[in-house]
Amino acid sequence: MDLQFTAAQRAFRAEARAWLREHVPATPLASYDTRAGFEQHRAWEATLAAGRYSAVTWPTELGGRGADLIEWLIFEEEYSAADAPLRVNQNGILLLGPTLMEFGSAEQKARFLPRMARCDDMWAQGWSEPNAGSDMAAITSRARLDGEHYVLNGQKTWSTRALFANWLFGLFRSDPASSRHHGLSYLLVPLDAPGITVRPIKALNGTLAFAEVFFDEVRVPLANRIGEAGQGWQVAMATAGFERGLLLRSPARFQRSAARLVALYRRHREQAERDPSIRDAVLKAWMDAEAYNLGSYHTVGRLARGERVGAEASANKIFWSELDLLLHETALRILGSRAELTDDAEAQDWIEGFLFAQAGPIYAGTNEIQRNIIAERVLGLPKG
């Protein structure tokens, strides 16, 4: 592994840093899980897109910079260091975007990708159903063929920020005789189509952004299908790989939290040192964040040599979600029970992050399922 950055990479870093210094909002935005905060984040996405920083790895003609993955890691480091706002359209940019690039037609790419980069369209992911979460192949939402349209019926659930989204990408059973992984199609659905009801689900922190989506005779043109009819599972699995693998959680985000945790420990040293195991936890969290960073550069190096990230993406997902828990649990141990009673902004930030960290082992495929994948496909153990 070559640990030196090239002159071009250093120049890219300097350019990104200067742009962020000039453009990152001086006051933090409201939570993107509120309507007002969502609109602020959407406006920030448009600013990023105008600077061609919303999707740096995308080709230039689609609004990106054609950056490679090392440059993406560099950009993420600068983005976190600048305390820039959380990204609101990750489902689009990180999940659907790369999927469209791999499986979409030229017309679909031109129609959807530039709008996605600017956050003109906000995308929700519609995979989970009440009886199809970990066992996603149990999907029952149907897409009935009717001339040049599919007619959708059924229900999706746990759809992140679907309350504010105007499009949804999802899997629907298009072959009524099929079962499990077969006969599913990957469809792009406008959420303002007649027959759609979006109903909010209250999250742990009390916000209403998460939603369940109901489909009642919803008509979607065939042109909104990605890939072939019945090929939805393969297309969706490519998207899941992007999500669990490198892209969803860049290491810089955790390094930033680890640095904040060390600063918190130093500020509350007297209280924290009463329990030496807190210092151990701070150290472990900091080292794990560094290890995750080095591991990510290693993975990027492998990808640059033409290797693919396979089932070991599951180990990555377990690592970052457990690291996020450790970071926030340790912060709350330092702050102590008084943290819940103050309106101190720092404590509130850690509590908010702590609540969100609880979801890490669940979304993008639960950690139990990731452990099954590692057991079977990486270690070659027999199926449980």
Residues annotated as catalytic (active site), given as ranges: 243
By CB under 6 A, is residue 166 in contact with ligand FAD? no
Nearer to ligand FAD, 234 or 366 (CB): 366
Nearer to ligand FAD, 85 or 365 (CB): 365
Binding piece for ligand FAD, criterion CB under 6 A, among 64-72, 108-116, 153-161, 265-273: 153-161
Q: How far is the CB of 57 from ligand FAD (least distance, A)?
A: 22
By CB under 6 A, is residue 99 in contact with ligand FAD? no
Nearer to ligand FAD, 131 or 348 (CB): 131
By CB under 6 A, is residue 133 in contact with ligand FAD? yes
Residue 309 in contact with residue 246, Cβ under 8 Å? Answer: yes
Binding piece for ligand FAD, criterion CB under 6 A, among 16-24, 98-106, 120-128, 321-329: 120-128
Write down how long the chain is: 384
Query: Residue number with the shortest CB distance to ligand FAD?
Result: 133
Residue 231 in contact with residue 183, Cβ under 8 Å? Answer: no
Q: Which residue among 57, 90, 160, 257 contacts ligand FAD (CB under 6 A)?
A: 160
By CB under 6 A, is residue 127 in contact with ligand FAD? yes
By CB under 6 A, is residue 125 in contact with ligand FAD? yes
Name which of residues 211 to 270 contact ligand FAD (CB under 6 A).
none
Q: How far is the CB of 121 from ligand FAD (least distance, A)?
A: 15
Q: How far is the CB of 373 from ligand FAD (least distance, A)?
A: 10
By CB under 6 A, is residue 134 in contact with ligand FAD? yes
Give CA–CA dist 166/190, Å, rounded. 6
Q: How far is the CB of 216 from ligand FAD (least distance, A)?
A: 19
Binding piece for ligand FAD, criterion CB under 6 A, among 61-69, 81-89, 125-133, 312-320: 125-133
Give CA–CA dist 145/382, Å, rounded. 40
Q: How far is the CB of 378 from ligand FAD (least distance, A)?
A: 16
Give CA–CA dist 130/141, Å, rounded. 10
Three-state SS string over the chain comes to: CCCCCCHHHHHHHHHHHHHHHHHCCCCCCCCCCCHHHHHHHHHHHHHHHHCCCCCCCCCHHHCCCCCCHHHHHHHHHHHHHCCCCCCCCHHHHHHHHHHHHHHCCHHHHHHHHHHHHHCCCCEEEECCECCECCCHHHCCCEEEEECCEEEEEEEEEEECCCCCCCEEEEEEECCCCCCCCCCEEEEEEECCCCCEEEEEEECCCCCEEEEEEEEEEEEEEHHHEECCCCEHHHHHHHHHHHHHHHHCCCHHHHHHHHHHHHHHHHHCHHHHCCCHHHHHHHHHHHHHHHHHHHHHHHHHHHHHCCCCCCCCHHHHHHHHHHHHHHHHHHHHHHHCHHHHHCCCHHHHHHHHHHHHHCCCCCCCCCHHHHHHHHHHHHCCCCCC
Nearer to ligand FAD, 318 or 326 (CB): 318
Binding piece for ligand FAD, criterion CB under 6 A, among 123-131, 234-242, 275-283, 333-341: 123-131
By CB under 6 A, is residue 309 in contact with ligand FAD? no
Residues touching ligand FAD, count (CB under 6 A): 17
Residue 367 in contact with residue 361, Cβ under 8 Å? Answer: yes
Nearer to ligand FAD, 64 or 361 (CB): 361
Q: How far is the CB of 70 from ligand FAD (least distance, A)?
A: 29
Q: How far is the CB of 300 from ligand FAD (least distance, A)?
A: 26
Name which of residues 324 to 383 contact ligand FAD (CB under 6 A).
359, 362-363, 365-366, 368-369, 372
Binding site for ligand FAD (CB under 6 A): 125-128, 133-134, 158-160, 359, 362-363, 365-366, 368-369, 372
